[in-house]
A and B are shown apart, each in its own frame.
Chain A
Amino acid sequence: MIAVAPSLSDRVLAALATVADPELDEPITELGFVRSVRIEDAKVTVHLRLPTSFCSPNFAYLMASDAVDALRRVDGLRGVVVQLDDHHDSDKINAGLAADAGYVGTFGVEAEESLDDLRRIFREKAHTAAMERCAEQLLRTTDVTVDDLHLVTLGDVPEGSHKEALVRRRAGIGLGAAPADPLVVDEAGAALVAAEVPLRLRFAKSVRISMEGNAHFCRGLLATRYGSTA
């Protein structure tokens, strides 16, 4: 078999697939937020679209600027243009991206410092939801009960998509994935005493339901807004 190097367009799509909606914790390529990709003379122009004109502008900016950053890391591209379509802040965001103005330069007085804290909040939520899925799987498929959960470590969690996702989300908030690390931890990743675990799990469940529900809603609205092309 001959190994074929991925084409430029494959590498562009792979780069876009690394960009996630922070709120939904899913790649923008799977959510249908990438409207078009055009490559001419090794220059790429990407149009993004969102489920409504009033999607949060901070998240819109995050995704668009993350897309620019991801595309700039693609070898062989000589130019990157990312444009956000049909948003109430399209003009502002597109001008900011084109001028490389950064978040504060794009939003001026509406911005204070950076979006790092906001990003952190949603990484914590994504981790919380992933943790709950693993815990719930154990509760449903093994003899483990809620009262035992404080003793459960990552080594006890069966391999599979839930665990892979959890390990990624842990990395997102700076946590390792040693087999002896406790599964159920607080928002910052610290271990909990036994009595705190049930309520933490209960809250984690509502985080997971909220995120999944938002994803249903966003996908549905995008399909309605853009018809069969969504």
Chain B
Amino acid sequence: MYEKDGEKYYIVDAHIALWDARAENQKNIHGKQFIDCFYDYHKNLSPEEVVWDYDTYTYYGEQRLLKDLFEDGYVDHAIFQPAILSDFYRRGFGQTEDALALTRANPGKLTYNHAWDPRHEEAGLEQLRKDADRMGLKGVKLYTAEWNGDSRGYKLDSPWSRRYLEECLKLGIKNIHVHKGPTIRPLDRDAFDVADIDQVATDYTELNFIVEHVGLPRLEDFCWIATQEPNVYGGLAVAMPFIHSRPKYFAQILGELLYWIGEDRILFSSDYAIWTPKWLIEKFVDFQIPPELTEYAPITTAQKKKILGLNAAALYDLDVPQELRLPTEAGNASAEVAAGARS
């Protein structure tokens, strides 16, 4: 919970990780390139005083995570969204068993989402059933650009992906978080194309599709499909830290999102440990659309409360204390947005 000027905010960090990118866990050069890329994100967009040293960044462990989120970071509930990356790391990048154990040891504070990969076909489906049972899954995180042997990614509307989505429906896994990365076959196309999400969102209306980092670098394509599909949400991972280095750009992103998808379908996340939540939350609560951006209405306290936690709480059925709720329900995904744009 975060409190400022008499207002109390229930905080859900909808995208966190517990990773191990130390040299001994790197399988090849790509493991090193991957964590170096993350570290550059971290250094480039964090305020100087919260930048970590490189060694801490490659592995920070459970206690540091708990402190950064729950002691220092105002977070009430956080959701693991792992990237497994077994082609880059010997024991995987996201530490599944450690994160699961931490979730069990901190009841009510953490949710563990796991991953599946349609390229594992039948064996992967069987594994998904076991994982759903053992891990109590309510959501999954899919990294469509994950490498797997010669393959450098998959589409969400492929026949095998659809079988996995149908299995998710049966298993009660209703929140499908999707991260679009840059290397998907065929390379002739735009690797960040979100058309496959559009397809499956239309076909599986009982599932929620949360597009991480709001489709960046294709904000406009994400906004367009999210306007058409009321079960498509935007996760603010990666967009959030612009609030510090490029506040006007952040205002424009937020203004666009509020126009195209509305206040009920935007989820806060720090993308921990790429960034830490404390400063992001403080800055977001203080944030306002600059007056020169006359095309956007000022952002309200109620909108901030929804984005910072109430929308994610609605997706994950979290029990929000009465005093932190709004008089009306958050997470009203079917609210009218972008008048005229829905076909």
Contacts and interface: CB of A to CB of B under 8 A. Distances in A.
B40 A52 contact: yes
Interface of B: 29-30, 33-34, 36-37, 40-41, 43-45, 150, 152, 181-183, 185-192, 216-220, 223-224, 242, 245-246, 249, 252-253, 256, 259-260, 295, 338, 340-341
A118 B249 contact: no
B88 to A, nearest CB: 10
A213 B37 CA distance: 18
B256 A107 contact: no
Contacts of B183: 54, 56-57, 88
Contacts of A66: none
8 contacts: A52-B40, A53-B30, A54-B181, A57-B183, A206-B219, A206-B220, A213-B219, A213-B252
Nearest to B29: A88
A77 interface: no
B249 A216 contact: yes
Contacts of A39: none
A211 to B, nearest CB: 8
A151 B189 CA distance: 35
Contacts of B41: 221
B187 A111 contact: yes
Contacts of B220: 203, 206-207, 209-210
B44 A110 contact: no
Name A's interface SS: helix
A107 B40 CA distance: 28
A151 to B, nearest CB: 20
Interface in A193-230: 198-199, 202-203, 205-207, 209-210, 212-214, 216-217, 220-221, 223-225
B177 to A, nearest CB: 19
Contacts of B224: 203, 206
B37 A54 contact: yes
Nearest to B259: A202
Nearest to B145: A54
Interface string A110-125: 1111110110010000
A23 B193 CA distance: 13
A57 B153 CA distance: 13
Nearest to A219: B44
A220 B223 contact: no
A58 interface: yes
Given A206-B223, A206-B260, A210-B217, A56 B182 contact: yes
A109 interface: yes
Contacts of A121: 190
Interface in A46-65: 51-58, 61
Contacts of B185: 109-110
B249 A112 contact: no
A223 B190 CA distance: 25
Contact of B40 (A113, A118, A202, A224): A224
Nearest to B256: A206
B188 A213 contact: no
A76 to B, nearest CB: 34
A221 to B, nearest CB: 5
Given A118-B188, A118-B189, A209-B253, A55 B219 contact: no
Contacts of B191: 56, 58
A160 B218 CA distance: 28
A109 B185 CA distance: 9
Give me the 7 closest cross-chain CB pairs, A-B, nearest first: A53-B33, A206-B220, A224-B44, A210-B219, A56-B182, A112-B186, A58-B187
Contact of B186 (A51, A52, A110): A110
Given A57-B187, A213-B252, A221-B44, A110 B152 contact: yes
Contacts of B256: 205-206, 209
Nearest to A213: B249
- Chain A CB within 10 Å, residue with most, of B36, B182, B338: B182
Nearest to A55: B182
A205 B33 CA distance: 34
Contacts of B187: 57-58, 61, 107, 110-111, 115
Given A206-B256, A213-B246, 7 more contacts: A53-B37, A54-B182, A55-B182, A57-B183, A58-B188, A113-B188, A216-B249
